[in-house]
Structure 1
Amino acid sequence: MRYIKAETILPVDLVKEIQKYVQGGYIYIPSEAEKRKRWGENSGTRAYIQCRNEEIFMKYRSGYKIKELSEEFFLSVESIKKIIYSKK
């Protein structure tokens, strides 16, 4: 990405309006076509974690203890609690 002086491509009135918010700094203006995906959507990690968390919650509801889930899924007790309490 290269930097372009705002005065060379934007109307003067618009530059003055932007300067009310940012003076002498850099701002990033994404293209309209740029639709960023959320973390883990490209790799499938987000879906995997959602599925795993659902499994943890279902096992907890069926009687598994938090300590057992922690050992089974290799997560801390606190992480298991966060998953369970966020699903309630």
Structure 2
Amino acid sequence: MNYKNGKDVLPPRLLKELQHYIQGELLYIPKPEQTRAPWGELSGSRTSIALRNKEIFIQYSAGRSAKNLAEDFYLSEESIRKVLSKMRLLRQEASSVTK
């Protein structure tokens, strides 16, 4: 986040109106919702977790236990079960779309 002086970027009328509410303090102005990237999009975290979850599902389908997967992926067994449940649901949705 870059600091910008309001005098340099705002029209004088808007600057005067803002000074009515806040003076000499930092003010964060968020991006509009439609321009914000979803969580993990920019950092690659979303893709990384999706790949991890796919690998968990593949290994579970090949016979690995939830306990072993939890140890290997440093997650709780409950987290592994949630991943598996979500992956099953995604598979069902994908297969119903292709039919």
TM-score by length of 2: 0.56
Alpha-carbon distance in structure 2 between the residues aligned to 1:30 and 1:59: 41
Give the match for residue 69 of structure 1: 69
CA drift of 1:30 comes to 2.7
Give the match for residue 17 of structure 1: none
Alpha-carbon distance in structure 2 between the residues aligned to 1:43 and 1:37: 10
The reply on whether 1:82 has 2:69 as its aligned counterpart is no
Distance 1:44 1:64, change over 3 A: same
CA drift of 1:29 comes to 8.6
Give the match for residue 21 of structure 2: none
Report the structure, 1 or 2, having the larger helix content.
2
Mark the runs of 5 or more structure 1 residues left unpaired by the alignment.
6-27
Give the match for residue 22 of structure 1: none
TM-score by length of 1: 0.63
Aligned residue pairs, count: 64
Runs of 4+ in 1 over 4 A off after TM superposition: 1-5
Matching residue within 24, 30, 33 for 2:32: 30
CA drift of 1:81 comes to 0.1
Mark the runs of 5 or more structure 2 residues left unpaired by the alignment.
1-5, 7-13, 19-29, 89-99
